[in-house]
Structure 1
Amino acid sequence: MHLTELMDTVPSNTADALDLFDASPAVETDFMIGTWRGAELPTDHLMDGLLAASGWWGKQFVDAETVHPLLFPTPDGQALWPMNPALAFSGVPLAAQAPSIKTLSFAKPIAATRLLWRARSAKARLRTTRYRGVDTATMLYDQLPINDVFRRLSDEAVLGAMDLKGADRPYFFVLRRDGSLPVR
């Protein structure tokens, strides 16, 4: 199933997204190992549009201790590079408050300055946590109060709920397995 097909079947508001999340099976941590292409799931969250505007490509789970939560394509599109989420999320509160900023594309400026944004090591880890009453695979950011919790949509796709400390509801995204580009 292609990511666009998945997006057509996924709800577009928080209540329906939570219903789908709660109805979907838990994910084992081993299932998450690999490289995943991501897409935002718009649910009228303050962060809706920010990852798309940034040019975010997806995530890579090398093993339980080595996770790259923010992957971006190189300018030539032939590889991926990991961004340091502590730097990336520093501007999110301001950007989330300015809806017009989400219509701009920051992909080229981010790619051009990738040496400043680049993570020099993995910035997250993978664990099983209990979220909404179910034990499931969760990506824990090393430097941020954020957990990305996963539920299975298919053998090749998961629904992610980003649980941000202090947020009143999760931010949703979909990941689909895609090892087509190397991470450098």
Structure 2
Amino acid sequence: MDVHEARSLFRELTERDGRVDPGELDAIWAVLPTVRPEEMLGAWKGGEFDTGHPLNGMLEKAGWYGKTFHSPHDAKPLMCRNETGELYSNTELGQGEASLWTVEFRGESTATMVYDGRPVFDHFKWVDEDTLLGIMNGKGVPAEGPFYYFYLERAPESGAASGAVPGAVPGAGEGA
């Protein structure tokens, strides 16, 4: 699979009703470009892939909207909506907030969110300049998983400008 096929399959999987095979997500992950923490700054709207992981559906119940990265050392992993629809950082659920680091995962160094109060790591790779694929990992998770797979799309209100994706081919966006 090349990066163009991976992006196409990623889009297909985000629209799929029902279960997604983690093997398909692993194949996508394997060819996507890595991310540097400073490239991720801004607000991101999140979604998940239903792989049958025990966390599937839990964040939705908590009103999860996405994540916000003000700086590498100021990350808000659980931006949720309250009863009136306002966004807030759910530090109770997350047991604090987080920071961004470059961490090796599956043989590559990529941006990883490290939670302050939990032994949890969210690893990221670029799908395109406004979309990230994430894999949640942490203490107690075997090397082969099961992992929780999710994605982030740059929020329109983030104010962060889209940047070039490392490893991307100019003009090779969707439909290419």
The equivalent residue for 1:141 is 115
The equivalent residue for 1:103 is none
The equivalent residue for 1:175 is 152
Counterparts of 1:75 and 1:35, CA distance in 2: 20
Indicate the SS of the match to 1:57: strand
Alignment root-mean-square deviation, CA: 2.5
% identical aligned pairs: 31
The equivalent residue for 1:7 is 14
Q: Residue 167 and residue 175 in structure 1: after superposition, are their counterparts in 2 closer, same or farther (change >3 A)? A: same
Q: Residue 33 and residue 133 in structure 1: after superposition, are their counterparts in 2 closer, same or farther (change >3 A)? A: same
Instruction: Flag as ranges the 4+ runs of structure 1 deviating above 3 A.
Output: 3-6
The equivalent residue for 1:52 is 60
Q: How many residues align?
A: 146
Structure possessing the higher relative contact order (Cα contacts under 8 Å, 6 or more residues apart): 1
Counterparts of 2:12 and 2:83, CA distance in 1: 27
**TM-score w.r.t. length of structure 2:** 0.74
What is the identity, as a one-letter code, of the residue corresponding to 2:89? P
The equivalent residue for 1:75 is 83
For structure 2, the 5+ residue unaligned runs are 1-9, 160-176
Counterparts of 2:39 and 2:12, CA distance in 1: 21
Counterparts of 1:5 and 1:63, CA distance in 2: 32
**TM-score w.r.t. length of structure 1:** 0.71
**Are 2:45 and 1:37 equivalent residues in the alignment?**
yes
Judging by fraction of residues, say which structure has more helix: 1
Counterparts of 1:42 and 1:82, CA distance in 2: 24
Whether the 8 Å CA contact 2:78–2:90 is kept in 1: the answer is: yes
